[in-house]
Structure 1
Amino acid sequence: MRISEFSNGKAEARFRTAYKRALTRLWPGPRTSLDVPTGFGTTRVHRTGPAEGQPIVLLPGSGGNALMWHGHLDDLARRHPVIAVDTVGEPGASVQSAPVRDGRDAAAWLEDLLAGLDLPAVHLVGCSYGGWIALNHRIHHPGRTATLTLVDPAGLADPGRRFYAWLIAGGLAALAPRPLRPRLAALVGNSAILETELMALMRASLGFRRRLPPATTLTDEELGRRHGPAHFLLGERSALHDAREAAARLHRLVPDARVTLVPGAGHALPTDDPAAVLAGILSTAAGQAS
């Protein structure tokens, strides 16, 4: 398998410039950036918040990086150390060196990262594809995460044509002139396209060739092996899956987990209802997941 990389040096330079600008504008507060070696490449993380306490580790969705969490960072950092991750193989500041073939490999990458950061127990938060990685990590490497918060995670059901149509529609809407985007965001059900800086970064990443495995649906046996406090936040109108069917499956297979359907929200849950996501993360980290 090949690895994710930029198509050429010019595309990489364009993205690096856009990333630096977005980081400065979206995260102007104090932070420390670290490059952590793993078996799959060097992973960039950004740390903020107090020095003591169990950290909240944030994993982005597919095609994103640590900056997707910019709207939540200040509130989270008032209570916890926060580590926002540029997932290896996604467009960000991490550099992939070995292929990620499946969920087990993705979990191994995350285990390498947490071990490299010397974090024995974390509050792990994953959005969409990041949620799939977080679930795989809990399955294959139990014991390192104190709690899980899964924000409309992938892997609960097979995404149908509706999801890919939603992705395409959102991508096209993001390329539209800025004055048109509020109307288009409502039309396609994707509030993320209103994030001006992130959309500029997305356009700068068009020269990035993402080669990560698809988020395969977790089996009943795999979901049943997930032990420990977990909170699933599902967008009621998610294009990724039927939220009510996903919730019913979770209640059946993971009866100790907390499952919240967020009314009116879709798959772009962090921007559709940021307050619900913030409350979900903080309540889970406070030990209220189950």
Structure 2
Amino acid sequence: MSEFRNTRAADRFRAAYDHALAALWPGPRTAHDLPTAYGRTRVYRTGPGSSGGVGAGRPVVLLAASGGNALMWHHQLAELASHHPVFAIDPVGEPGASEQSAPIADGADAAAWLDQVLAELGLHDAHVVGCSYGGWVALQHQLHRPGRVGALTLLDPAGFNGFGLRFYAWLIAGGLAACAPRTLRPRLARLVGNSAVLEGELMKMSRAAAGFRRALPVPPVLTDEELDRIARTGVPAQFLLGARSALHDSPAVAARIARLLPAARVEIVPDAGHSLPMDRPGLVTARILSASSAATP
């Protein structure tokens, strides 16, 4: 299971997390700690209906990338919350305010965890937005627990390629760039193709998570049969792929999606890499809002 190495590592991260939460979260929020079979899950709720009931508009559920939590969406939160109830999740097994108590061994477990969170929130027609690993979890949920989600937005989702040397080199280069003097970081961010380097609070929190042992399944490549099953659920889906993604060949992935999920909307986003919510924050927000409005019953 994912966990901190020791109490000191956990305390160090908690201090950085609390500081980032206070610095980055726009406006009011309500924290909910929800029980699941895989551990206590922290969800932050904001937007219409925060004081009770779901409120107007289709609920938007935000799933973070690997190593991330609800705060990675801080650029999108204010605008989304002005139109929709928003539920930003700290995934079990990632560094955040959730606490894992049982292993997540595969996609079926990841799907069961998300389904339990949605059930605890009383959501039955949510617009689920997942970035990278969070996108893979959303797709696994459609495979194993369809029927609770009303729309999908997937940002450079994992599950369409293995994690090759290019991706790990991108991660390492981004980590080194984030440690460079602040005046050099904008230039280095452009060089390595990762705007997350410029996210000071998130980078401090990421460094504080060095004492966290992550033990979640590596996403296998989705088969044609699995993608066909997702297509047959009929859930509206849009895919945003970074033109300079370090994870996969975006044109090839777009072509495969067009072949196997012909009803899905696919967009290759220029001037963006794998960190879409940071590389193109305004575009990501606009696309989520557009899909939410189009999918509203």
The TM-score, its normalising length taken from structure 1, stands at: 0.97
* 1:36-75 equivalences in 2 (<5 Å): 36-51=34-49, 52-53=55-56, 54-75=58-79
The aligned counterpart of 1:151 is: 155
CA distance in 1, matches of 2:15, 2:295: 41
The aligned counterpart of 2:191 is: 187
CA distance in 2, matches of 1:68, 1:215: 20
Deviates more, 1:277-286 or 1:88-97: 277-286
What is the deviation of 1:158?
A: 2.0
Contact 2:26 2:77 in 1 (8 A): no
* 1:1-290 equivalences in 2 (<5 Å): 3-51=1-49, 52-53=55-56, 54-226=58-230, 227=233, 228-287=235-294
Contact 2:44 2:88 in 1 (8 A): yes
Aligned residue type for 2:33: D
> What are the ranges of 5 or more consecutive residues in structure 1 without an aligned counterpart?
none
CA distance in 1, matches of 2:248, 2:123: 33
Aligned residue type for 1:57: V
What is the deviation of 1:145?
A: 0.6
CA distance in 1, matches of 2:274, 2:46: 27
Equivalent pairs counted in the alignment come to 287
CA distance in 2, matches of 1:77, 1:117: 17
What is the deviation of 1:230?
A: 0.2
CA displacement, residues 111-139 of structure 1 (integer Å, 9 cap, x when unaligned): 01111111111000000000000010011
Contact 2:155 2:240 in 1 (8 A): yes
Aligned residue type for 2:32: L
Structure 1 residue matching 2:139: 3-state secondary structure: helix
What is the deviation of 1:175?
A: 1.9
CA distance in 1, matches of 2:70, 2:77: 10
Structure 2 residue matching 1:58: 3-state secondary structure: strand
What is the deviation of 1:28?
A: 4.4
What is the deviation of 1:288?
A: 6.0
CA distance in 1, matches of 2:215, 2:8: 19
CA distance in 2, matches of 1:36, 1:252: 38
CA distance in 2, matches of 1:215, 1:146: 23
CA distance in 2, matches of 1:133, 1:204: 25
The TM-score, its normalising length taken from structure 2, stands at: 0.95
Deviates more, 1:80-89 or 1:184-193: 184-193
Structure 1 residue matching 2:294: 3-state secondary structure: coil
What is the deviation of 1:241?
A: 0.3
What is the deviation of 1:271?
A: 1.1
CA displacement, residues 20-46 of structure 1 (integer Å, 9 cap, x when unaligned): 111011014100001000010000010
Deviates more, 1:64-73 or 1:210-219: 210-219
Aligned residue type for 2:93: G
Deviates more, 1:33-42 or 1:270-279: 270-279
What is the deviation of 1:276?
A: 1.5
What is the deviation of 1:98?
A: 0.4
CA distance in 1, matches of 2:161, 2:229: 17
Structure 1 residue matching 2:141: 3-state secondary structure: helix
